[in-house]
Amino acid sequence: MNRFFLERYGLTQTDLERYLAAALEEGGDYADLYFEHTTVSSLLLDESLVKTATEGISMGCGVRVLAGEQTGYAYTDDLTPEKIIKVASIAARIARGPARVSRLGLAEASPTNNLYPVALPATDCDLAEKLALIRRADQAARAYDARIHQVRVTYGDQIRHVLIAGSDGRVAGDFQPLVRIGVFAIAQENGKFQAGSSGGGGRVGLEFFESETTPEHFAREAARQAILQLEAREAPAGDMEVVLGPGWPGILLHEAIGHGLEADFNRKGISAFSGRLGQRVASEICTVVDDGTLPGRRGSLNMDDEGEPTKRNVLIEQGVLKHYLQDRLSATILKSAPSGNGRRESYEHIPLPRMTNTCMLAGHEDPQEIIRSVKRGLYAVSFGGGQVDITNGKFVFSASEAYLIEDGKVTAPVKGATLIGDGPTVLTRVTAVGNDLKLDPGIGTCGKNGQSVPVGVGIPTIKISRLTVGGTSLKQLQAFQ
């Protein structure tokens, strides 16, 4: 795995040891080097024209020095030895005093699982093959309904080679493919316009798009949503019973629970979940995991961006808070085991505790029964983005496809609306968990402190006894009460 940087840049073990020694010349507890070489390519099809093809390479090395709770960081996009030594010396300035690292014998970590055994990475495939995919999506979206007025298809892939060398002697490398297609459709009727979107991908090759998750599938899904919105009525406003469909609505977990459990916020005591390990934060039918080891998933990694193998971490077990998501620094300070969640956007960034694929495990209930049990409520099946205030725990996520439930039946589609709740209490109101766990289609990106990383979510159908729905209709609310 490490041959990439050896072959391309002549990077040897002796070099790594020399750079680490430079990083620790002022002292410090630990240093690491993060070498990255990423090739990306993207395509845009708009108005049935391939308007853009883009390709590029970004590469560089980030040097980190840890001294107590302090981090020194510097990076360069020039991989010559002089430049790397120079940035290592800059990162070293954080530390004062003798180095607390005794030996620098590097040893390559034994290979972990290969979660993404892609025969031919998408980045290496012919442009013609990728163009065919986006053209198929365009045609399928337009063929779906005569009211489809505009279609835009985006395609992107990347290959990321990384090599991490730490002053604890660990050297670990990985090769991380990623691919994604997105379809955006606009429907028009009587001068009114409505939008729909869909997409999917993962750490897979182009064969991912051959069956089921075809370009046509995503295209029809985007078109269906746009057409559906043409007849959507005002969303209700206020507290009500909410049923979330399986899959993408798992963004609830990401916002309500996941961010608040990232260990950096907790060691600093600024998360609404700080000091709550061992406490009940969900009803006992809820078990939530963050699993970086699901094969081929967008949020999966063989190792995190500190060289630690990823794991399946149980965050909430039968309602009780079990674990935080750790990076190296937080795990050291909290004297906790590393969890394989130290991630960074690129060599330009300091690692932080981040999620991978965050899922609620399946329960026993029949999803149809769950819907039938609701007299008046909202059934939300597709979401756009979400956000959370870590400190007070208030989170939002925005439904892009939702329906009213009336007398146990799914009835009229309603316009998009934001749902708002309180992270530490929302899962205590989960009164039913379906047997239909589904993962998202593979398009999620999470932002934190200005760093974006690919993530996944998953959830079965669940019922929440009370959640605030941010619609506009007061009338419907009155009818509900």
Partner 1 sequence: MSENHLEKIAAGLVERAIAAGGSAADVIMYEADEFSTTVRLGKVENLKEAASRALGLRLFLGARSATAFSSDFSDSSLERLVKRTLEMARATSEDPASGLPEPKLLGAYAGDLELYSGDIGELSPETRIEMARRAEAAALAADPRIKNSEGAWFEASQGCKAYANSLGFSGSYQTSYCAISVAPVAQDGGMQRDYWYSVARRASALESPEAVGQKAAERALRKLGARKISTCRVPVIFDPETARSLLSHIFEAVRGDAIYRSASFLAGKLGEKVANSNLTVLDDGLRPGGFGSRPFDDEGIPSGITPVIEAGVLRNYLLNSYTARKLNLSTTGNASRGVAGPPGVGPKNFYLVAGPQTPAKILQSVKSGFYVTDLIGFGVNIVNGDYSRGASGLWIENGELTYPVEEVTIAGNLAGMLNQIQMVGSDLEFRGALAAPTLLVEGLTVAGA
| Measured distance between the N- and C-terminal CA atoms of the chain, rounded to whole angstroms | 62
**DSSP for 17-54, written as a single string:** HHHHHHHTTT-BSEEEEEEEEEEEEEEEEETTEEEEEE
Show Cβ contacts of residue 56 under 8 Å, excluding neighbours closer than 6 positions: 39, 40, 41
Site for partner 1 (CB under 8 A): which residue of 58, 431, 451, 465?
58
Binding mask 85-104 for partner 1 (x = CB under 8 A): --x--x--xx----------
Number of residues that bind partner 1 (CB under 8 A): 81
Site for partner 1 (CB under 8 A): which residue of 149, 276, 280, 429?
149
Q: Is residue 411 a contact residue for partner 1 (CB under 8 A)?
A: no
C-beta of 90 vs 104, nearer to partner 1: 90
Q: Is residue 12 a contact residue for partner 1 (CB under 8 A)?
A: no
Q: Is residue 119 a contact residue for partner 1 (CB under 8 A)?
A: no
CB 198 within 8 A of CB 183: yes
d(C-alpha 464, C-alpha 456), whole Å:
22
C-beta of 148 vs 301, nearer to partner 1: 148
C-beta of 74 vs 281, nearer to partner 1: 74
To the nearest whole angstrom, how small is the minimum distance from the Cβ of residue 47 to partner 1?
Answer: 8
Site for partner 1 (CB under 8 A): which residue of 6, 337, 474, 479?
474
Site for partner 1 (CB under 8 A): which residue of 82, 97, 110, 128?
128
Binding to partner 1 (CB under 8 A): which residues in 268-287? 268-270, 272
Site for partner 1 (CB under 8 A): which residue of 334, 372, 396, 428?
396
Alpha-carbon distance values, 439 to 180, 357, 359, 361, 391 (Å): 15, 9, 8, 11, 28
Q: Is residue 40 a contact residue for partner 1 (CB under 8 A)?
A: yes
Binding to partner 1 (CB under 8 A): which residues in 315-354? 348, 350
Q: Is residue 470 a contact residue for partner 1 (CB under 8 A)?
A: yes
Site for partner 1 (CB under 8 A): which residue of 6, 10, 70, 337?
70
Q: Is residue 124 a contact residue for partner 1 (CB under 8 A)?
A: no
Give the residues across from 445 on adjacent strands.
Answer: 454
Planar angle of CA 156, 257, 398, nearest 5 degrees: 55
C-beta of 188 vs 373, nearer to partner 1: 188
Site for partner 1 (CB under 8 A): which residue of 368, 392, 411, 452?
392
Q: Is residue 416 a contact residue for partner 1 (CB under 8 A)?
A: yes
CB 367 within 8 A of CB 246: yes
Q: What are phi and psi of 470, to 5 degrees?
A: -95, 55
d(C-alpha 463, C-alpha 316), whole Å:
18
Choose the binding region for partner 1 from 106-114, 230-238, 283-291, 333-341 (rule: CB under 8 A): 230-238
Binding to partner 1 (CB under 8 A): which residues in 447-466? none
To the nearest whole angstrom, how small is the minimum distance from the Cβ of residue 406 to partner 1?
Answer: 19
Binding to partner 1 (CB under 8 A): which residues in 155-174? none
CB 415 within 8 A of CB 400: no
Which residue, chain included where needed, has tokens 């509900």?
Answer: 480
d(C-alpha 120, C-alpha 206), whole Å:
8
Both tokens of residue 198? 């869909």
In three-state secondary structure terms, 360 is strand
To the nearest whole angstrom, how small is the minimum distance from the Cβ of residue 203 to partner 1?
Answer: 21
Q: Is residue 428 a contact residue for partner 1 (CB under 8 A)?
A: no
CB 438 within 8 A of CB 460: yes
Q: Is residue 49 a contact residue for partner 1 (CB under 8 A)?
A: yes
Site for partner 1 (CB under 8 A): which residue of 81, 296, 309, 385?
385
C-beta of 219 vs 294, nearer to partner 1: 219
Q: Is residue 72 a contact residue for partner 1 (CB under 8 A)?
A: yes
Site for partner 1 (CB under 8 A): which residue of 418, 433, 440, 463?
418
Choose the binding region for partner 1 from 149-157, 212-220, 285-293, 367-375 (rule: CB under 8 A): 149-157
Show Cβ contacts of residue 343 under 8 Å, excluding neighbours closer than 6 positions: 301, 304, 305, 327, 351, 352, 353, 354, 356, 453
d(C-alpha 444, C-alpha 452), whole Å:
10
* DSSP H or E stretch at residue 352: strand 352-353
C-beta of 76 vs 356, nearer to partner 1: 76
C-beta of 81 vs 238, nearer to partner 1: 238
CB-neighbour burial class of residue 102 (10 A; exposed 0-12, middle 13-18, buried 19+):
exposed
